[in-house]
Chains A and B, each alone.
Chain A
């Protein structure tokens, strides 16, 4: 089983939900395609989508909702087929 880490493209605050009372973009265990949104990073009052850059199963998120993240920080692990 190969594992792929989704990295944060920029610094900011990581969110797993589109809004505080909405469902998470992706649950642990979910199957994702390349380009599926798995979270948001907020910086300079702008929200940037974090997309899965590999297809497979999200094994786990490596940061909590609302954690501060750095550019290049691993956000989630995807188990590729």
Chain B
């Protein structure tokens, strides 16, 4: 499908045309930008570097029911309902969109997670080019671009009073083919403008790290003292993994309330001791160093080994929000420099 242009003031009209979709868009709530179901188009914010929470929870909710059970009079088990509603995810940054492809690798791996897949299949993702990257963004170092269209159905670029709309998939066509009078054909000037904006955005991603070689170097550093040093100030909270668009670990627990209950899947984080503790009480990752190391290893060694992709999209959230200023880019740089290979 050809590219399109939509005027910004036509957005409310367009969104009202899409009433068969449940629309999720970035909202501002007390200074935090999060993706929420859009009830009022005026509450949507599009001027932000990136949302505090990545939109991964649309496909992989923080709390997801797997099944319910009831004991009376006989045992009744009912599986969780499939998320059948059509969803439109609006305003996703290209880095977050790439994260969906990374999560796909895991959730479609040896077992195809039907809840995740259903949500993925039902969702149309409209991306928004990143025009003013945050100073902690480093997407270009891990294969992304502020205007990357990987994982997206539609990519829009802000051209001031209008958006340049690039339709990438059939799913995307479904939402764009709606009333024609909303969309017009782009001119050469629009194309040129878009090119300039893309270029400018890319040049503004200043933080970078050469990830080539990190994978192999990590292999030598499993026993390194470096991790003791690095993890000394880590407080062991879950911010880095809960805010990470590619972190996908979960825990499965039962919520029991007498004669009924449910089994739920909830986000988990490898940064807390409870993540690995065995029923016996033994913990194979007893210290902060083991846990911090695991997170870096998982992203830059284990995941690439298994799926041939780095599990990091360079969104910079973990850097911005770490309470003690642990910086993954700095960590990678240091990893490359570490000299000693422990005895």
- Genuine A/B complex: no
Interface residues of B (CB under 8 A from A): none
Interface residues of A (CB under 8 A from B): none
